[in-house]
């Protein structure tokens, strides 16, 4: 099975900061990589599919990049509503998650 | 509007059984694979099981094989998860999810596009 490794597991950031989260697959997965956001007590929300395709309604400050085994989720200017946990996913495997907290 | 609503969670003793249901609306149910994803308290997401749109293909994570059974009734737009021989480590919020990328279980572009609110399963004596 392919393993998905996210880093960092948590980070502290301020409003307006540029935030980058990485996800590494244990083997090449082309661009079959999705990103989710989860807020406390809520179901996850799909943000990006196929590495860089933004879901409808997701703000343009979110972007995804990468192919092969290395991927990145970037938030260009962190907003108060972006403090959450982010997960990458490939096939039926999720990464361990990255919690974005207020500095 | 796509909606999926889970039900059937609750408290059960170790070794017991529980059946979760997920009622779907707002889309052509039979054309999408459907999944159960769980989240133990304070932990990350785990993909538990998937069923193809037609119901003829399934996937289970290793820890539930032989204990859980996923099924669907396309005439009722409903997804099920029969959970037997429950263990303490099965305690989690169970989410129903629509796979917006696939109708089968052998598809590279699988993704959980729509999620329910979740139902809590607690296995404890």
Measured between beta carbons, the chain A residues lying within 8 angstroms of B115 are: 43-45
Integer angstrom CA distances of residue B41 from A36, B25, B83, B122: 18, 28, 19, 10
Residue from the list B44, B59, B101 with its beta carbon closest to the beta carbon of A97: B44
User: What is the pLDDT confidence band of residue A94, given thresholds at 50, 70 and 90?
Assistant: very high
Q: How far apart are CA B118 and CA B46, in angstroms?
A: 13
CA distance to partner chain A, nearest, from residue B27 (Å): 17
Segment B9-56, tens digit of pLDDT: 999 999 999 999 999 999 999 999 999 999 999 999 999 999 999 999
Q: Look at the alpha carbons of B113, B102, B46, B70 in this order and tell me if their dihedral is positive or negative.
A: positive
Give the pLDDT band of residue A8 (cuts 50, 70, 90). very high
Closest Cα partner for B116 from B100, B99, B94, B92? Answer: B94
Which chain B residue has the Cα nearest residue A41?
A: B117
How distant is the Cα of A44 from the closest Cα of chain B, in angstroms? 7
CA-based nearest residue to B78, from B18, B19, B120, B123: B19
* CA distance to partner chain B, nearest, from residue A94 (Å): 6
Q: Where would I find the H helices in chain B?
A: none
């Amino acid at each position: 099975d392919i393993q998905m490794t996210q880093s960092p597991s948590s980070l502290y950031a301020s409003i307006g900061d540029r935030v980058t989260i990485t996800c590494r697959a244990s083997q090449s997965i082309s661009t079959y990589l999705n990103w989710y956001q989860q807020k406390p007590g809520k179901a996850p929300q799909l943000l990006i599919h196929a590495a860089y395709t933004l879901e409808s309604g997701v703000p343009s400050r979110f972007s995804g990049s990468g192919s092969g085994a290395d991927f990145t989720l970037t938030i260009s200017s962190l907003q108060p509503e972006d403090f959450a946990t982010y997960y990458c996913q490939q096939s039926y495997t999720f990464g361990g998650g990255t919690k974005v907290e207020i500095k | 509007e796509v909606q999926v609503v889970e039900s059937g969670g609750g408290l059960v003793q170790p070794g017991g059984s529980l059946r979760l249901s997920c009622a779907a609306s707002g889309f052509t149910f039979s054309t999408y694979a459907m999944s159960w994803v769980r989240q133990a308290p304070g932990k990350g997401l785990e993909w538990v099981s998937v069923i193809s749109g037609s119901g003829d293909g399934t996937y289970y994570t290793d820890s539930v094989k032989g204990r859980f059974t996923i099924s669907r009734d396309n005439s009722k737009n409903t997804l099920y998860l029969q959970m037997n021989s429950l263990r303490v480590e099965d305690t989690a919020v169970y989410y129903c999810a629509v796979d917006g990328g696939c109708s089968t279980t052998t598809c590279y572009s699988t993704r959980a596009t729509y999620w329910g609110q979740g139902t809590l399963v607690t296995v404890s004596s």
